[in-house]
Amino acid sequence: MNFDFSDDQQAIKSTAKDLLAERFKLEKVRALAEAALQGDPSGATLRGYDDAIWSELGELGWPGIFIGEEHGGQGLGAVELIILMEELGYALAPLPFLSNAAAGLVIAAAGSDEQKERWLPGIASGEARGALGLLKDGEAALVPDADSADVIVLCGHEGRTVIQRSAAEVEPVKTMDPTRRYARVRSGDAGEALEGEHLPGLSIACAAVAAELTGIAQRAMEMAVEYARDRKQFDRPIGSYQAVSHRCAQMLLEVEGSRSASYYAAWTADDEPDTVALAASMAKAYASDAGWRVCTSALQVHGGIGFTWEHDLHFFLKRARVDGVLWGSAKEHREIVADLSGRRQAATTVA
């Protein structure tokens, strides 16, 4: 069995890595983050994004990579989306890509034909962006990019709704992550119900966060390893000391585990959809913990300099921390895994 990417998938990964490395040098990421922090939380000046780059990605077809051709997308699969998400995480790209993709995934899974026709073309082009939030007690507390989206999808035990941003109550929320915008959303009685099953779309969205966390962890690990090679104590690179080398080895283990879980979830979405909810929760749970642990370990390898604002590592650590709780924490997804595994085992026993 061949577990490698196809030639087309390799081309997507290579193109994404090269383009994002050019467009989002860490100086650019820092400048956008600092601009966001200095802006007005209630106004349009708090952007932190580069609209020209977003338009460029739209022309390349990235926002609609998973959306069917009949709705203006490329008609590719979840694996291709996950490839892009890992590279976006590696670059720490300040873009509304994840939020837009997540909304598109749920509408594609649960929307009516009319709702798909209305919203998916704009999501696929990036010109009418979406956002996704999880409802609890009538409120979605952490919705990426809701304040600049055209349409917001809200999912929870209370139902599934798609609503225009202008009809929702959207309140910007500050988090520790200055490279992405967040908001609190309340829909009240507005919006249209999504009558289909939203779980497949939400599951792939969670796998996408896991892939982004994988890219973040990979970059943080590389920064730590490079520093461990260059920094010397007693005329020896600090990486030659077991306390540091073992920490770096543990980082590699967690990065590879996170990557395997993310791509397995993507594979199930395309080839074994009955298991995608279980696989995606496994990936999100593992990657949420691994992303945070790898970034904190990288900070420890860097020592005192890693704690400074001038070093770029803290941007990765902060994104990893917020990603870890986005659309369900590691603890919540472990509970989902336990529930789904228990039900599956019970069904097998009865059969």
pLDDT tens per residue, range 67-77: 999 999 999 99
Nearest to 144 by CA among 109, 104, 185, 195: 185
User: pLDDT, tens digit, for every residue of 92-120?
Assistant: 999 999 999 999 999 999 999 999 999 99
User: pLDDT, tens digit, for every residue of 167-183?
Assistant: 999 999 999 999 999 99
Question: How many Å apart are CA 258 and CA 277, to the nearest integer?
Answer: 16
- Give residue 4's pLDDT band: very low, low, confident or very high (50, 70, 90): confident
Share of the chain above pLDDT 90, in %: 82
String of b and e for 140-175 (b: at least 16 CB within 10 Å)? bbbbbbbbbbbbbbbbbeeebbbbebeebebebbeb
pLDDT at 137 (0 to 100): 86
Is CATH 1.10.3210.10 correct for 199-350? no
Q: For CATH 1.20.140.10, list the domain ranges present in the chain.
A: 199-350
pLDDT at 199 (0 to 100): 93
Average per-residue pLDDT in the chain? 92
Question: How many Å apart are CA 92 and CA 250, to the nearest integer?
Answer: 22
pLDDT at 231 (0 to 100): 87
Nearest to 318 by CA among 19, 108, 36, 102: 36
CA–CA distances in Å: residue 57 to residues 38, 52, 65, 78 = 26, 9, 11, 18
Res 240 pLDDT > 50: yes
Average pLDDT of the segment spanning 147-172: 92
3-state SS, 123-149, equals HHHCCCCEEEEECECCEEEEEECHHHC
| Radius of gyration of the CA atoms of the chain, in A | 20
Res 21 pLDDT > 70: yes
Q: For CATH 1.10.540.10, list the domain ranges present in the chain.
A: 7-193
Decide if 330 contacts 288 (C-beta within 8 A): yes
| Range of lowest pLDDT (145-149, 329-333, 339-343) | 339-343
pLDDT at 315 (0 to 100): 96
Average pLDDT of the segment spanning 229-239: 87
CB atoms < 10 A from the CB of 326, how many?
Answer: 28
Res 238 pLDDT > 90: no
Res 42 pLDDT > 70: no
Question: How many Å apart are CA 304 and CA 292, to the nearest integer?
Answer: 18
Average pLDDT of the segment spanning 118-137: 96
**Which H helix or E strand runs over 43?**
none
**CATH architecture observed for domain 7-193:** Orthogonal Bundle (1.10)
